[in-house]
Amino acid sequence: MGVTALAAAPSSVAAPRPDAVQRQLDALVRQDGAPGALAAVKGRNGRTRTYTAGVGDVATGAAVPRDGQVRIGSNTKTFTAVVVLQLVGEGRVKLDEPVETYLPGVVRGTGIDGNAITVRQLLQHTSGLPNYTDYLDDDIRHYQPRELVDIALRHPAAFQPGKGWTYSNTNYVLAGLITEEVTHHPLAAEIDRRIVRRLGLRHTYFPAPGDATIRGAHPHGYYRESATGPLIDITDMDPSWAWAAGQMVSTPSDLDRFFGALAGGDLLRPAELTEMQRTVDAGKPFAPGSQYGLGLVSTPLSCGGVYWGHGGSIPGYETRGGATADGLTATVAITVQPGDDATARHLEAAVDTALCAAERVH
74 included as an active-site residue: yes
Burial 304-330 (b: 16+ CB within 10 A, else e): eebbbbbbbbbbbbbbbbbbbeeebbb
Number of helical H runs and strand E runs in the chain: 13, 17
Does the pLDDT value for residue 141 go beyond 70? yes
Query: Which one, of 272, 219, 252, lies nearest residue 323 by Cα?
Result: 252
Going by pLDDT thresholds of 50, 70 and 90, the confidence category of residue 357 is confident
Does the pLDDT value for residue 7 go beyond 80? no
At 361 the pLDDT is 42
At 14 the pLDDT is 52
CA distances from 88 to 97, 139, 333 (A): 11, 37, 32
d(Cα 320, Cα 119) in Å, to the nearest integer?
A: 26
What does DSSP assign to residue 7? P
Mean pLDDT across the stretch 333-358?
92
Which of 12-26, 207-221, 237-251, 319-333 is least confident? 12-26
d(Cα 268, Cα 248) in Å, to the nearest integer?
A: 20
Cβ atoms of 212 and 237 within 8 Å: the answer is yes
Average of per-residue pLDDT values in the chain: 93
d(Cα 219, Cα 338) in Å, to the nearest integer?
A: 16
At 129 the pLDDT is 98
Going by pLDDT thresholds of 50, 70 and 90, the confidence category of residue 154 is very high
At 2 the pLDDT is 35
At 8 the pLDDT is 37
Phi, psi for 50 (deg, rounded to 5):
-110, 150
Helix intervals (H) in the chain: 20-30, 75-89, 99-102, 119-124, 145-153, 169-183, 187-191, 197-199, 243-246, 252-263, 270-276, 341-356, 358-361
d(Cα 39, Cα 251) in Å, to the nearest integer?
A: 9
Burial class (CB in 10 A: 0-12, 13-18, 19+), 82: buried
Higher-pLDDT residue of 31 and 340 is 31
Does the pLDDT value for residue 131 go beyond 60? yes
Helix intervals (H) in 2-103: 20-30, 75-89, 99-102
Does the pLDDT value for residue 360 go beyond 80? no
Going by pLDDT thresholds of 50, 70 and 90, the confidence category of residue 228 is confident
3-class secondary structure per residue, 283-335: CCCCCCCCEECCCCEEEECCCCCEEEECCEEECEEEEEEEECCCCCEEEEEEC
Catalytic, out of 11, 12, 74, 290: 74
Which amino acid, residue 154? R
Does the pLDDT value for residue 69 go beyond 90? yes
Does the pLDDT value for residue 343 go beyond 50? yes
d(Cα 350, Cα 91) in Å, to the nearest integer?
A: 40
Burial class (CB in 10 A: 0-12, 13-18, 19+), 27: middle
Mean pLDDT across the stretch 56-68?
98
Does the pLDDT value for residue 193 go beyond 50? yes
Query: Which one, of 66, 65, 41, 75, lies nearest residue 332 by Cα?
Result: 41
d(Cα 153, Cα 107) in Å, to the nearest integer?
A: 7
At 122 the pLDDT is 98
| Three-class DSSP category at 205 | strand
Bridge partners of 38, per DSSP, are: 52, 333
Mean pLDDT across the stretch 20-45?
95
Helix intervals (H) in 96-144: 99-102, 119-124
CA torsion through residues 221, 208, 239, 74, sign: positive
% pLDDT > 70, the chain: 94
CA distances from 233 to 2, 14, 141 (A): 43, 27, 16
List the end-to-end C-alpha distance of the chain, in Å, as a whole number. Answer: 34
